[in-house]
């Protein structure tokens, strides 16, 4: 019971420290949601319809209500009759469970769950940033996360809010040496999105470093996280994290392979959707098109800018030498996004969970004058809100 009370006090203290940042985050997000609501109202479309029942949300709702076996209605334009097998199961499973308990419609449950997860994600991001750089940098990290170009997805019935929440708290668990918690959260993240490989890599490599024998002396690499070896090296928990972390991702991929009667069934389904790993050739070609093709959309420009900025920020983050697990996660997510072929218009969304990339910008804001801070956050909030309206009311593909 003593451990439970201690944990409750720690959670309460963390919430109190994060409260101001979370209020700021919610305020900034409301600007974007308000823009979409106003734009949708002018076109006769409700906010719930826009954010909870369109694009990829349709697949998650179908899986939640009918499972993977029933065909999509209407039929998938991409992916063929097994198209739903491209979508990982945790989010639709949670939707189904909450619907069974509450009796609420699946679309409302999916949207409400995403909104709650976005708040948990912002809290987790604050906790990680505060642990590394202090409360002021954490405040601005959460604020910037609320106004990135594709921030609207944080308020949609998509997997990104759930995935970011699981990832942020998994990294916090690594930083605080709660290895079994980190492994469990990585397991769940791996069952949420294919990019769960990034947090799996962060947790497993972070734990594996702690298991290396002490080389002692000079020239030894500094520990990736606060050193367990000074505290007796809880080997069982470290091995537990390494074993747990990949189970969610691996179990789903193996299950899809079994369903499709071939070991690489999941990757076959991804190819049917047009998603492959080409080492970055597709991304480079699309970036080159930015300078050679006259007909480009606003989305093309924003996504290209986001990808280039992410690479620059990753290099900047490396110079700042964060704990290895944090950098590994960010680097792996950027690698997966940049080196994947297909869906260029969604690459900025794929980078949304890469919140450690915001640390250098948040650090700069933390040192800036108050007038500069207000100008930057206000300008970014307005620009992000306008772009959110564009993505939902003008752009014809998934955000």
Alpha helices in the chain (DSSP H): 2-42, 47-52, 57-66, 90-102, 106-133, 135-145, 160-175, 179-190, 196-211, 235-244, 247-260, 265-273, 281-292, 298-319, 324-338, 347-350, 359-367, 370-393
Residue 53 located in a structural domain: yes
The count of domains in the chain is 1
The whole-number mean pLDDT for each consecutive block of 10 residues of the chain, a chain of 399 residues, reads 68 86 95 94 91 91 90 74 90 96 94 96 96 95 95 95 97 94 96 96 92 52 44 76 96 94 90 87 89 83 94 94 93 95 91 96 94 93 94 88
Residue 242 located in a structural domain: yes
Query: Distance (Å, rounded) from C-alpha 85 to C-alpha 194?
Result: 12
pLDDT of residue 90: 96
Residue 399 located in a structural domain: no
pLDDT of residue 7: 66
Residue 398 located in a structural domain: no
**Which helix (DSSP H) or strand (DSSP E) does residue 341 occupy?**
strand 340-341
Residue 257 located in a structural domain: yes
Residue 261 located in a structural domain: yes
Domain that holds residue 78: 2-214+223-393
Residue 109 located in a structural domain: yes
pLDDT of residue 248: 96
Residue 124 CB partners (closer than 8 Å, separation 6+): 164, 165, 167, 168, 169, 171, 172
Query: Distance (Å, rounded) from C-alpha 113 to C-alpha 146?
Result: 18
Query: Distance (Å, rounded) from C-alpha 313 to C-alpha 21?
Result: 22
Contact 353, 145 (CB under 8 A): no
pLDDT of residue 231: 47
């Amino acid at each position: 019971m003593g451990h439970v009370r201690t944990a409750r006090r720690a959670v309460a203290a963390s919430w109190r420290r994060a409260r101001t940042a979370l209020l700021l985050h919610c305020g900034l997000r409301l600007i974007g949601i308000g823009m979409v609501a106003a734009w949708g109202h002018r076109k006769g479309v409700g906010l719930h319809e826009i954010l909870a029942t369109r694009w990829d949300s349709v697949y998650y709702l179908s899986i939640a209500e009918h499972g993977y076996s029933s065909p999509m209605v209407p039929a998938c334009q991409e992916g063929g009759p097994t198209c739903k097998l491209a979508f990982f199961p945790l989010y639709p499973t949670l939707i189904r469970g909450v619907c069974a308990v509450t009796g609420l419609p699946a679309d409302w449950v999916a949207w409400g769950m995403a909104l709650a997860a976005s708040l948990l994600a912002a809290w987790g991001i604050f906790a990680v940033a505060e642990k590394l750089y202090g409360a002021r940098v954490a405040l601005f990290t959460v604020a910037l996360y609320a106004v990135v170009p594709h921030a609207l997805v944080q308020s949609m019935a998509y997997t990104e809010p759930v995935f970011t929440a699981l990832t942020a708290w998994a990294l916090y668990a690594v930083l605080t040496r709660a290895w079994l918690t980190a492994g469990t959260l990585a397991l769940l993240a791996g069952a949420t999105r294919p990019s769960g490989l990034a947090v799996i890599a962060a947790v497993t490599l972070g734990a594996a470093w702690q298991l290396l024998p002490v080389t002692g002396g000079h020239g030894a690499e500094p520990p990736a996280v606060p050193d367990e070896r000074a505290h007796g090296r809880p080997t069982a928990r470290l091995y537990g994290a390494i074993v747990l972390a990949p189970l969610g991702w691996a179990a789903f991929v193996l299950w899809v392979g079994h369903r499709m009667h071939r070991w690489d069934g999941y990757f076959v389904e991804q190819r049917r959707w047009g998603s492959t790993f080409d080492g970055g050739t597709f991304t480079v070609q699309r970036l080159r098109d930015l300078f050679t093709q006259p007909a480009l959309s606003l989305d093309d420009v924003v996504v290209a800018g986001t990808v280039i900025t992410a690479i620059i920020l990753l290099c900047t983050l490396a110079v700042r030498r964060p704990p290895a697990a944090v950098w590994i996660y960010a680097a792996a997510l950027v690698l997966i996004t940049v080196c994947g072929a297909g869906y260029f218009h969604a690459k900025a969304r794929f980078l949304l969970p890469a919140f450690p990339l915001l640390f250098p910008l948040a650090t700069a804001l933390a040192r800036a004058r108050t007038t500069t801070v207000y100008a930057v956050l206000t300008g970014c909030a307005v620009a992000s809100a306008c772009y959110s309206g564009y993505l939902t009311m003008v752009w014809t593909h998934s955000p």
